[in-house]
Structure 1
Amino acid sequence: MTTACVSIFIGGISRLPESGSLTGMYKALATGPLELGVEGFAGDVQADRRFHGGPEKAVHLYPVGHYETLARQFPEAAASLVAGSLGENLSADLDERQVRIGDIWRLGDTLLQVCQPRNPCWKIDERFACDGMAAYIAQTLKTGWYWRVVRTGRVTPGGTLDLVESNADAHTLYEAMSVWREHRPAVDALLRLAGTPGIASGWRDKIVQRIAFLKTIP
């Protein structure tokens, strides 16, 4: 069984240091049991529900190993690049090459399903005072990912993520993002990605729209 130790982070709404824009990126390490529902952890809040939160972005995991890479690339922010600082709910020693779209993992009493990557935004640059950090995260596919909650329940800090179900025919998240980011991906590759069981409906819709567009190009 594949398993990984996990840390849990939750937080409310804060303001970014320069623009004053609202953000839910500033989170604190959870120290007691938490209820996890279909829209995320009790006590965790998202500032802009157009882009964060909801059933298919209920829980965000960012691979803890990526922080070392980011610190090398952006040394001026190295001291601030620690687990939890990118607004993730879960921090674990997993990465995008180790999980597949549709994977189901157990966390405490709950079951989580990998459904889409995170799309990093400009607020990351302001949070760390580093122009280009969000773009670097996107370009290197070090995005982390979102889970949907397929079984709600209670989660206790200090637990593990345990792989329960995986489809060996599905793309890893890294492979899926690589296909999606190609300048002109093959329609067959996009069709396979769109048909992956467990993929987020919003991402699937974008893939289908892109397929339709590509079919219009001679």
Structure 2
Amino acid sequence: MSQPEWMPDAVTFDLDGTLVDTAGEIAAAVNATLAEFDVEARPQAEITALIGDGLRALMLRLMAQLLLARPSLAERLQPDAALASLERHYALRVGASARAYPGAASTLQALRAAGVPTGCVTNKDGRHARMLLEATGLIEHLDLVIAGDTLPQRKPHPSVLRSAAARLGVAPHRLAHVGDSRTDLQAARNAGAADWAVPHGYNGGEPIEAAAPGRLFDDLGAVAAHVLALRGHRLAA
């Protein structure tokens, strides 16, 4: 007799590139920061490829690339000043142009209606994460938000999703985490959770298929449809 397919008791989602498309406003904030230091703007694709470990890490990586190519920039592009500037510019833009991906709200609603707790686990700073979730109307559909400054560690450290599972009242091996990057998949694997992915998002400009997710869904709606089917529910049209 075949064994029933594994079914999660809770589902968590990454934020940038998974629930919400934020690349445009992040790139705008980064380029506004560079302009303040008289550094030419960078293409959005270049900035997007650095999304995934929080705004601070993105800026430090970009600065390292810029200084490697043009060491003379070190005279005017100092890390502390640039990071403070980026914080100001992003705070002015967060949630202004970002858009929830199709099916984000309905997916979270459907899962919770079926008794499946949902959470957002992101490396973005908590203040910005909540502003973004409020601006897109998603925060009301979440049982939990863990941000980059909530815990001592960040994804992909195993403690992050283990903490998320505990707060949602499930064992780590009963949690599925949905993301768009290698960081998300590794975070799930490290915690003993299911590593699920959607194909939109960033992942350093690399197709998420290259990271071999445990399950790849066409979109967010397909995540809800899969979980609800396992629980004997049907996703509302």
Q: What is the TM-score when the length of structure 2 is the normalising length?
A: 0.29
Structure with greater proportional helix content: 2
Structure with greater proportional strand content: 1
Q: What is the TM-score when the length of structure 1 is the normalising length?
A: 0.31
Larger of the two Rg values belongs to structure: 2
